[in-house]
Structure 1
Amino acid sequence: MGVDDVHEETGGGVGVTTGSLARKLGISPTTLRSWDRRYGLGPASRVEGRHRRWTAEDVAMVHEMCRLTAQGVPPAEAARTAKAHATGTPDAPLPPALPSHAPDEETRRRCRGLARAAVRMDVRALHQQITAAIAAYGLIGAWEEVLTPALRLAGRRWESSEDRYVEVEHLLSWHISVALRESYARSALAVRDEPVDTRPALLACLPGEQHTLPLEALTAALAERGRPVLMLGGAVPAEAVEATVRRIGPAVVALWSQSRGTADLPLARHLAAIRWGVQGARTRSRVLLCGPGWGSHTGSGLPRPTGLRDAVRAVLAAGGADAGHRAAGTGGVAESA
């Protein structure tokens, strides 16, 4: 979303609400509020007792923040650059974006606290710290900045201690799963004034793949943005995934593979070739190859999101609303191309 989009939507300067801006940027309102509180990336003008409104200049600043953090720039540094960009103030050149970046002190503190709670097997502290991280960073930010690093830390301890910490990693994973499902339930099961008019996104682990946590994070993040999701879970048989595609005609199919042994490119291509919809207007689902197991399939021709944020954007960009398909349904009309 750019400055021109804001002017078009608001008539040239009234501004947009936090919820509207969050939906258009593909982030949560909590993340916007957190960036405002932590880095001062908020509306320049505020009216007491009224909802905050973001002007075109405010939106340009936040848009730059999203672009930089998506490239791996640390949030604090990205915020300084985004503000300088918005005001026209020259700033020092950014370092090259890295796949992972050094977290700030608060983030390191949260990771350490979460790891220590897991080692102590303090379930109350685990749940409190996980939910607090989601509230502070937003779901995607918490996954990237706190939860995934804490899981990696537990995994490294497990590998170097002769299975001493395997129970710690499992406990931490389970409580992260609980928090993600709670977030999903709050978003997906909320009463809505208007019916959702988009085809769902279908998420499934490939046959033999039991690592569901990343797809649970994607499920919760999409639900948070009002996107219908069908999450089938771990180790879904190929025929079950195909039957679901033919039955519901999803806009997107995200297939998770943690290891090369579960990556099944022929299945992915087969699903991508299934056509569904009314006669004369058939379409296909967009298939996303998610997870490190697809690393050897760089020339597959199918999109491979690089992380949770990228996967959310890919699903949201696919859309899926189609009145003709909704009216006719998809039962019995899907066919292989």
Structure 2
Amino acid sequence: MDTPTDLSAPLAEASITTGGVARRLGVSPTTVRSWERRYGIGPSGHEAGRHRRWTPQDVAVLEAMCRLTARGVPPAEAARLARGGALARLPQGRAETGEPRESGGGRTLPLGTVRPECRGLGRAAVRLDAPVVERLLDVAVADLGLVTAWDEVMMPALRAVGRKWAVEGERYVEVEHLLSWHVSGALRRVTRCIDPPAPVAPVLLAGMPRELHSLPLEAVAAALSGRGIPFRMFGPAVPPAALVESVRRIGPSAALLWSQSRDTADTRLAQLAAATAWGPRGARARPAVLLGGPGWSGAGRIPGTLRPRRLTESLVHLETLAAP
């Protein structure tokens, strides 16, 4: 689901299935079913033993729900408004078009083609509406799963905020800080330290010595947690000696080293980490080193390392490497 389809197109008189509704409105079937389960936005009639069918009136309510959530209205509130036929009565502080009522104009993010959940998140962040930002993040993780929520909701919004303040100067730094803090909170709420019953070497997660970004590492930690894979998170700016010593002490199955920009990518340290061994003589082992982030793009091929491009690719490698 990249963008909603044309919601103004006339609806067919015949009832349609949940999958058909999802395709028509540009949302996932999982989201439609979740809204029905959580907020009562569903078909008005259902015969036992038959697929659920949506009437034009049912679809109109769901259409209103889509419009409201895309504008940043919390799902529970959007459901109440949609069921009451009150699409135009948005909460105070939002215009009927869904844009925040703020002076000065131009306070929108350059999001491009994104999911409605991401667009709503971006608008809430620009308004500095922390409660809505928090709710939208939690709903995105619950409805879409962590990986999809990160790739298609959180990351596009974070990148757009970064582009915005880079163009506008420091005007929008507060938006980035607020959004980053809440994204970190949403990731931490679904992250648990794993103590597997079988002996499994943990994954080491660390930022390069001068690297201050840690949200991608937090996303990996949350995803590993959901897969039952143990990890050790050291966060940003890990000193070289501490990184190497941690490899020796932990004996990780893999080490993911994050670099957001080229000036923080240290190829010599990556090579040293890949060459660091642990264990008794005759049975010594070395970690698989994954180089994460755009900072490694100009580093060339580093022996003994892998360079995943996305969170999903990193998880495939780490899940394989962590297998007992």
Give TM-score, length-normalised by structure 1.
0.62
Query: Which of 273, 283, 286 is the equivalent residue of 1:284?
Result: 286
Alpha-carbon distance between aligned partners in 1 of 2:292 and 2:169, rounded to the nearest angstrom: 30
Over 3 Å counting, the alpha-carbon distance change for 1:220 and 1:103 in structure 2 is same
Alpha-carbon distance between aligned partners in 2 of 1:232 and 1:246, rounded to the nearest angstrom: 15
RMSD: 2.3
Structure 2 residue ranges without an equivalent (≥5): 1-26, 34-47, 49-111
Q: Which residue of 2 aligns with 1:306?
A: 309
Residues 1:319 and 2:319 aligned together: no
| 1:80-134 CA distance string (max 9 Å, x none) | xxxxxxxxxxxxxxxxxxxxxx856xx1x21221111111211111110001111
SS in 1 for 2:255: strand
Instruction: Identify the structure with the greater helix proportion.
Output: 1
Q: Which residue of 2 aligns with 1:178?
A: 185
| 1:136-187 CA distance string (max 9 Å, x none) | 11100001111111111111221222221110011101100001011103xx
Which has the bigger relative contact order, CA under 8 A and spacing at least 6?
1
Q: Which residue of 1 aligns with 2:204?
A: 202
Query: Which of 111, 117, 132 is the equivalent residue of 1:110?
Result: 117
Alpha-carbon distance between aligned partners in 2 of 1:36 and 1:239, rounded to the nearest angstrom: 49
Alpha-carbon distance between aligned partners in 2 of 1:269 and 1:320, rounded to the nearest angstrom: 24
| 1:293-327 CA distance string (max 9 Å, x none) | 00112321321010111111111111253xxxxxx
Alpha-carbon distance between aligned partners in 2 of 1:220 and 1:37, rounded to the nearest angstrom: 21
Structure 1 residue ranges without an equivalent (≥5): 1-33, 41-47, 49-101, 322-337
Over 3 Å counting, the alpha-carbon distance change for 1:267 and 1:320 in structure 2 is farther
Alpha-carbon distance between aligned partners in 2 of 1:39 and 1:282, rounded to the nearest angstrom: 52
Q: Which residue of 2 aligns with 1:138?
A: 145
Alpha-carbon distance between aligned partners in 2 of 1:240 and 1:320, rounded to the nearest angstrom: 26
Alpha-carbon distance between aligned partners in 2 of 1:142 and 1:37, rounded to the nearest angstrom: 13
Letter in 2 for 1:132: V
Alpha-carbon distance between aligned partners in 2 of 1:157 and 1:174, rounded to the nearest angstrom: 17
Q: Which residue of 1 aligns with 2:245?
A: 243
SS in 1 for 2:169: coil
Alpha-carbon distance between aligned partners in 2 of 1:196 and 1:211, rounded to the nearest angstrom: 32
Alpha-carbon distance between aligned partners in 1 of 2:172 and 2:199, rounded to the nearest angstrom: 46
Q: Which runs of 4+ in 1 moved over 6 A?
A: none
Q: Are the aligned partners of 1:260 and 1:293 in contact in 2 as well (CA < 8 Å)?
A: yes
Alpha-carbon distance between aligned partners in 2 of 1:305 and 1:111, rounded to the nearest angstrom: 24
Query: Which of 9, 30, 37 is the equivalent residue of 2:30?
Result: 37
Q: Are the aligned partners of 1:250 and 1:320 in contact in 2 as well (CA < 8 Å)?
A: no
Alpha-carbon distance between aligned partners in 1 of 2:309 and 2:205, rounded to the nearest angstrom: 16
| Structural mapping, 1:1-337, within 5 Å | 37=30, 107=115, 109-185=116-192, 188=193, 195-301=197-303, 302-319=305-322, 321=324
Letter in 1 for 2:131: R
Alpha-carbon distance between aligned partners in 1 of 2:31 and 2:174, rounded to the nearest angstrom: 35
Q: CA deviation at 1:279?
A: 2.7
What number of residue pairs does the alignment pair up?
221
Q: CA deviation at 1:39?
A: 9.7
Alpha-carbon distance between aligned partners in 2 of 1:130 and 1:38, rounded to the nearest angstrom: 14
Letter in 2 for 1:280: G
Over 3 Å counting, the alpha-carbon distance change for 1:35 and 1:117 in structure 2 is closer
Q: CA deviation at 1:224?
A: 0.8
Alpha-carbon distance between aligned partners in 2 of 1:231 and 1:254, rounded to the nearest angstrom: 10
SS in 2 for 1:134: helix
Alpha-carbon distance between aligned partners in 2 of 1:38 and 1:237, rounded to the nearest angstrom: 43
| 1:8-67 CA distance string (max 9 Å, x none) | xxxxxxxxxxxxxxxxxxxxxxxxxx9763699xxxxxxx9xxxxxxxxxxxxxxxxxxx
